Structure 1
Amino acid sequence: MLWGEEDARGERWRIDSYDFTISEDIGEIQLIKIEKHKYWYKDDWYCRHITLKTPTGDYLEFPCYRWITNDKEVILREGSAKLVTHDVTQIHKQHRRKELEDRQKQYRWKEWHPGFPSSMDAHCHSDLPHDIQFDSEKGVDFILNYTKAMENLFVNSFMHMFQSSWSDFADFERIFVRISNTISEYVMQHWQEDFMFGYQFLNGCNPVLIKKCKKLPEKFPVTHELVECSLERNITLEKEMEQGNIFIVDFYLLDGISSNKTDPCTIQYIAAPICLLYKNLENKIVPIAIQLNQVPGPENPIFLPSDAKYDWLLAKIWVRSSDFHIHQTVSHLLRTHLLTEVFAIAMYRQLPAVHPIFKLIIPHVRFTIAINTKAREQLICECGLFDKANATGGGGHVQLVLRAMKEFTYESLCFPEMIKLREMDNKDEIPYYFFRDDGMKIWEAILSFVGDVMDIYYESDQAVCDDSELQAFVKDVFIYGLRDNEASGFPKTIKTKEKLVEYITLIIFTATGQHAAVNFGQYDWCSWIPNSPPTMRQPPPKEKGVVTIEYIIESLPDRGRSCWHLGAVWALSQFQDNELFLGMYPDEHFVEKPVKQAMAKFRKTLEDITSFILDRNKNKKLPYYYMSPDRIPNSVAV
């Protein structure tokens, strides 16, 4: 089946199927070659697959899923997945070598910024190989999408007052109430309440920072006397920690990060708070102490729920702003987008299309290189859209990625280990951590599916060790993609089936469940500006008892930056047109029946998880659905 990109009349996506009959005996089919005549106008065609019926009545499938252009031919193998050790004919060995040689010329590593994960060598989206470009670049143009989002949200009318402050909290509602959204409206109504503040560390759009606190750091000198009125069990703070009731979130990565200076008319500020949280008798996680910077002292007081109303509210707002910065730059950009691109580039460079791991991974890297290239072109580049509203714009976001790169590890990307590292795995102690519960179900489903597929092709650990293409893929990720970062703990080789299954599961989970969890809740949780300010225009208070409502309003983003922020979180929370969700594999890269059976089993597991989550969410004022399989796209594409 061939899909035409554009004909002479400008008609796009004309779909045709062609039948050919060959009467003479041509012997055993080794390869199929496709080429097209060159025309005077752009006339690229997309070939899905070729089906060959043999004289005996058997059918052979030749998957393609590539663009046929004027300047090159495409040579296809029959669709059965083969490891390099399974090929015996010279023609097949030569074909897979030639395919990788050609790909390595097309897919080249590039250092976008020193210290970042390596990325695709492309200045703009149109420089990318045709096979990995978006069908329509217009659909992922950040500037167009932000403009469209602001039109949809009716916020353009505020842009002429770009640097003016809002009048009060109610004033924010003017740009907010146009769109009906259950969670965002609930946030607007309850954002000042301590339970809502704490809940977001569990099930908001950045549920990856909170950890159990067994011992207070010296830089955070909270005493029992300070927080005694917040403790409900009539035991000491030390005992509460021993019993697993105290949690901490530390934004130390933000300490000393340069604030945005791209607009000389507006001074912007960044803090690096530490927040102590408590599980009360209702099993709700609530804040009990906040220090707004890392070094304790008279000008860095510890704010408490018992303080004056606006002192405590502003302290929480500062934490929410800091959480927004870490979420956007570390949890979202680095740990899903940039890492998935590393896996994608290494896959194209080291795994031929006939390799089972290529067939398994390719649906989960669809459009990732393209969206990241577009982001480097328009979003996170110098003077990009990121600078318009965010305090970490103008270079602070780059500093933040560099710091996070020194700390991120392979272990922390394995979902069960990430939860254990933060000691958040005990369901009895922390019963309402839906991100953890649903994430574990998704991880286990992917792990089982990957295991079923790998069992088909790798009969032993030795088969894993002998797969030179797999080992080259893993090495390329480590050496070039991650810049030979020993501290990351990423493997340089894989020697067992168990480790291989975990490694591929990590790749797929990062691109699917993890990205969905930190991306698609952005409008829900960040659209109410006071709950997630992208910038602060007044410095953190250095003493108690001086904060007024006017000071808070002057601290929050001005009208123009609020509008840019709202447009951004709206645009980033939307699914792509014709989105493919987890378990959907319309492109049949695999032709073997056992793999298709494994896919069917995987889909059934995902359907059960979806039903469970749907049932759990019934009648909930704050439903958690970001890890529901029917809302998890197959790849990082937005």
Structure 2
Amino acid sequence: MGKIFSKNSPKVPEDATHIVTVKTGDCKGAGTDANVKIILINGEGKNSDEFDLDARWRDDFERGREDQFYVKCEENFGRVAKIEMWRDKKGILDNWYVDWVKVQHANADDHAFFPLNRWLAPYKRIRVKEFDSVLPQEDDDSERRKEELDEKRLKYTTKVKVAGLLPQIASLPDDEIFSHEYQSDLKKLKKQLFIRITVKNVTTGRWKQPEDILPVYNDVLTKPIGFSHWRNDFAFGRQRLVHCNPIWIRRCDEIPEKLAVTDEMIKPFMEGLSISEAIGSKRLFIIDYSFLKDLECTGGRIIPSPIALFFVTSSKALLPIAIQLFAEPSETNPVFLPNDHHVTWQLVKMWFNNADASVHQACTHLGFTHLVMEAIGVITHRSLSPSHPIFRLLAPHFLYLMAINSRALEVLVSEGGWVDTCMSIGRTGMFNILKRVLPNWRLDVQGTLPNDLKNRGVEDPEVLPNYHYRDDALLLYDVICKYATTVVKGTYDTPEKLANDYELQEWARCLSDSPEKDGAGLNGVPGNGKFSTVDELIGTVTPIIFLGSVGHAAANFSQYDDYGFPGNYPAIMFGDPPTDKSPRTEKDIIDTLATKKMSLDTLLITRLLSEKATNPLGDFEVQYQYDRVGTKAISELIKDLEKVGEIIDKRNEKRAYPYAYLHPNAIPNAISI
């Protein structure tokens, strides 16, 4: 049995040859009281003695902590290429999750890194190569690898929790629970917010005028952008491009039959152009929410199913020129215009935003990021070994995802939760929207930014100017694509490696297959269940990383600016939408607004959701890639993101309204809030 000494030991031997550093994970139950042993293996396959990793005067392997030890191998043992590690069952708390092990020669800077990122079962020896990034067909410990995947499939079981939607994790594994530090930060923020919102005389009843909410705002609950611009047509048009729901506007190539507009109606708002001329010059745009028609909502509430036209002026502003609140034209469903009575027009815009907010929360936010990413995350854990290079590429972008989704279902989307009480649609309407929209969502179209922009006809900055979401997101998409390409092509440098990677091909199958076949049920996965080329794989992992970082940031972090003032972006409205053009009064607007309690609940929730509680993109909380291909890709990613940040900073200096939501420093690696 070889001797081992803690670095802090009063008797560190002068002839120690190697330093072993062990990082215990920061997930629930990660720390251990068990006895831990290690064997070092050099490049020639020679084993060291067996070392007990133990310092009697200190409690080793506590959650989230690094422990360092000196060991003594025989002379000229050389560089370590593998380690073998195991534990017993000593102690009440013997479970152990290991992030990584680093072995450094005591007299040299060179070190070998072994990212385990897994639980160690008692008495089961695990032998890990340096970097632990190896394709399954090249792994000389394939049996251990298969056993690990079988165990993970028992932990990461799928369940369709809402009929008609994507599968989710059936029961949250301990691995996915928030870290102590993250939970502490969230608790502090919640406490701070709730303390700061204690304002006299504004917690019950209804608002007498929209501006009565002003006393609520302070240095923590700052005045949201929407407060100052909510009546403005320019701001209403800008919302479509740079706020929390920027993915629905599309170029109008023809007027749908269900929209009862005529040249006579809207020509005055198109600088004298006819409809055909505006379409021909690519200056007419549309948002069509007619799929909301007859939507069943919680409590029998009604939301519109509006269609709106927008026009790009010669001064490059996007302005609303027509809104029809329901899908079928009729005498009680007129087309509203900017020259209608100003309060009536304002009320119509608010009802449109009520529908927009419903689509935002159901689809853009929950469906297209949280739920899509959870389905992908569960399937990735079930299909790819922790040693797989593609697992290591994607793993940072699943951090806390399943935990936050589980929390959201319990708190926000539960019966009687925030969605039920503070949104017109409620959870019933939210799920019904998803059932109508998700079946038509495709990873290679809506999930792939360049294809999505082209599909909507909005890819050209000359056609649709000031679309800052598009312009900044494209920079980030290209950087992520370069990053993914470096890893994928560096891993699969021959066609045979891709074809023979049975774990990867199982992942491809499961992403595409239905939940009944243990799949995610995603449409539009490149290769349709089998990767034949590296381009298909790049075309899959790039949008996955993008959706889990940039896509969610765009949908999430402007929520407070949008929802924080109830008149700007109403999550809930009372009464019925206008059915004629008669003049309305300010009281009509007041009567539609959320109650004070609903408004404050919405303000708190969206303020909390708009917080960035984890590291920015590229600065991974847990690093999984230590191999040469992965470390090179990460290094380039960080440099490229810095350049993108500089470009966005310069753009924002020239923009009339800066767009900060997609600055790389503001984008987390994963959906963690």
Which residue identity does 2:248 align to in structure 1?
A: L
Q: Between the two proteins, what is the percent identity of the paired residues?
A: 27
Matched with 2:478 is 444
Q: Is structure 2 residue 434 aligned with structure 1 residue 401?
A: yes
Once the two structures are TM-superposed, the CA of residue 191 in structure 1 deviates from its matched residue by 1.5
1:27 and 1:583 map into 2 onto residues whose CA distance is 30
Matched with 2:169 is 120
Q: Is structure 2 residue 585 aligned with structure 1 residue 551?
A: no
Matched with 1:514 is 551
Q: Which of 73, 85, 90 matches 1:33?
A: 85
Which residue identity does 2:289 align to in structure 1?
A: F
1:180 and 1:129 map into 2 onto residues whose CA distance is 35
Alignment check: 8 A CA contact 1:273 1:322 kept: yes
Matched with 2:579 is 542
Q: Is structure 2 residue 245 aligned with structure 1 residue 206?
A: yes
Matched with 2:294 is 256
Matched with 1:564 is 601
Once the two structures are TM-superposed, the CA of residue 260 in structure 1 deviates from its matched residue by 2.8
Which TM-score applies when normalising by structure 1? Answer: 0.89
CA 1:29 to 1:306, structure 2 compared with 1: closer, same or farther past 3 Å?
closer
Q: Is structure 2 residue 568 aligned with structure 1 residue 531?
A: yes
Which residue identity does 1:2 align to in structure 2?
A: K
Alignment check: 8 A CA contact 2:226 2:564 kept: no
Q: Which of 116, 119, 125 matches 1:64?
A: 116
Once the two structures are TM-superposed, the CA of residue 75 in structure 1 deviates from its matched residue by 5.5
CA 1:12 to 1:344, structure 2 compared with 1: closer, same or farther past 3 Å?
closer
Q: Which of 175, 183, 187 matches 2:216?
A: 175
Q: Give runs of aligned pairs for residues 583-622 of structure 1, distance below 5 A.
A: 583-585=618-620, 587-618=622-653, 620=655, 622=657
1:179 and 1:141 map into 2 onto residues whose CA distance is 15
1:28 and 1:84 map into 2 onto residues whose CA distance is 22
Q: Give runs of aligned pairs for residues 315-334 of structure 1, distance below 5 A.
A: 315-334=348-367
1:367 and 1:396 map into 2 onto residues whose CA distance is 27
1:27 and 1:432 map into 2 onto residues whose CA distance is 56
Alignment check: 8 A CA contact 1:155 1:563 kept: no
Which residue identity does 2:101 align to in structure 1?
A: I
SS of structure 2 residue aligned to 1:412? coil
Matched with 1:134 is 178
Once the two structures are TM-superposed, the CA of residue 173 in structure 1 deviates from its matched residue by 2.0
CA 1:6 to 1:351, structure 2 compared with 1: closer, same or farther past 3 Å?
closer
Q: Is structure 2 residue 659 aligned with structure 1 residue 624?
A: yes
1:173 and 1:322 map into 2 onto residues whose CA distance is 25
Matched with 2:407 is 374
Once the two structures are TM-superposed, the CA of residue 69 in structure 1 deviates from its matched residue by 7.7
CA 1:156 to 1:442, structure 2 compared with 1: closer, same or farther past 3 Å?
farther
1:552 and 1:413 map into 2 onto residues whose CA distance is 37
Q: Is structure 2 residue 307 aligned with structure 1 residue 274?
A: yes
1:315 and 1:361 map into 2 onto residues whose CA distance is 43
Once the two structures are TM-superposed, the CA of residue 592 in structure 1 deviates from its matched residue by 2.3
Q: Which of 100, 103, 114 matches 1:49?
A: 100
Matched with 1:215 is 254
Which residue identity does 1:404 align to in structure 2?
A: V
Matched with 2:8 is none
Q: Is structure 2 residue 202 aligned with structure 1 residue 158?
A: yes
Once the two structures are TM-superposed, the CA of residue 70 in structure 1 deviates from its matched residue by 7.3
- Point out which structure has higher relative CO (alpha carbons under 8 A, 6+ apart): 1
1:338 and 1:74 map into 2 onto residues whose CA distance is 34
Once the two structures are TM-superposed, the CA of residue 598 in structure 1 deviates from its matched residue by 2.1
* Structure whose CA Rg is larger: 2
Once the two structures are TM-superposed, the CA of residue 93 in structure 1 deviates from its matched residue by 1.3
Alignment check: 8 A CA contact 1:462 1:496 kept: no
Matched with 1:110 is 159
Once the two structures are TM-superposed, the CA of residue 44 in structure 1 deviates from its matched residue by 5.5
SS of structure 2 residue aligned to 1:19? strand
Matched with 2:43 is none
Uncovered stretches (5+) of structure 1, i.e. residues with no partner? 123-127, 262-266
Alignment check: 8 A CA contact 1:3 1:45 kept: yes
Which TM-score applies when normalising by structure 2? Answer: 0.85
C-alpha deviations, 1:569-601, integer Å up to 9, x for none?
Answer: 10100111xx22111236442232333222211
Alignment check: 8 A CA contact 1:258 1:396 kept: yes
SS of structure 2 residue aligned to 1:488? coil
Once the two structures are TM-superposed, the CA of residue 337 in structure 1 deviates from its matched residue by 0.6
SS of structure 2 residue aligned to 1:52? strand
CA 1:354 to 1:297, structure 2 compared with 1: closer, same or farther past 3 Å?
same
Matched with 1:196 is 235
Once the two structures are TM-superposed, the CA of residue 381 in structure 1 deviates from its matched residue by 2.3
Alignment check: 8 A CA contact 2:644 2:664 kept: yes
Once the two structures are TM-superposed, the CA of residue 153 in structure 1 deviates from its matched residue by 3.5
1:129 and 1:472 map into 2 onto residues whose CA distance is 22
Tell me the number of residue pairs that the alignment of Structure 1 and Structure 2 aligns: 616
Q: Is structure 2 residue 56 aligned with structure 1 residue 16?
A: no
Q: Is structure 2 residue 193 aligned with structure 1 residue 149?
A: yes
Which residue identity does 1:260 align to in structure 2?
A: T
C-alpha deviations, 1:534-554, integer Å up to 9, x for none?
Answer: 111111011111422111110
C-alpha deviations, 1:472-517, integer Å up to 9, x for none?
Answer: 1121122245987989233211111111111110110010111111
2:493 and 2:550 map into 1 onto residues whose CA distance is 29
CA 1:244 to 1:115, structure 2 compared with 1: closer, same or farther past 3 Å?
same
Once the two structures are TM-superposed, the CA of residue 96 in structure 1 deviates from its matched residue by 1.3
Alignment check: 8 A CA contact 2:84 2:125 kept: no
Q: Which moved more, 1:31-40 or 1:314-323?
A: 31-40
C-alpha deviations, 1:378-421, integer Å up to 9, x for none?
Answer: 22122333212111114111111111122211221000001111
Matched with 1:125 is none
C-alpha root-mean-square deviation of aligned residues, in Å? 3.0
CA 1:386 to 1:336, structure 2 compared with 1: closer, same or farther past 3 Å?
same
Q: Which moved more, 1:53-62 or 1:400-409?
A: 53-62
Which residue identity does 2:581 align to in structure 1?
A: K
CA 1:398 to 1:566, structure 2 compared with 1: closer, same or farther past 3 Å?
same
Once the two structures are TM-superposed, the CA of residue 140 in structure 1 deviates from its matched residue by 8.7
Q: Give runs of aligned pairs for residues 572-583 of structure 1, distance below 5 A.
A: 572-576=609-613, 579-583=614-618
Q: Is structure 2 residue 551 aligned with structure 1 residue 499?
A: no
Which residue identity does 2:209 align to in structure 1?
A: D
C-alpha deviations, 1:106-135, integer Å up to 9, x for none?
Answer: 11111111111100011xxxxx32222111
CA 1:140 to 1:279, structure 2 compared with 1: closer, same or farther past 3 Å?
farther
SS of structure 2 residue aligned to 1:352? coil
Once the two structures are TM-superposed, the CA of residue 35 in structure 1 deviates from its matched residue by 1.9
Which residue identity does 1:509 align to in structure 2?
A: F
C-alpha deviations, 1:110-166, integer Å up to 9, x for none?
Answer: 1111111100011xxxxx32222111398399999767534334458533x1xx321
CA 1:385 to 1:17, structure 2 compared with 1: closer, same or farther past 3 Å?
farther
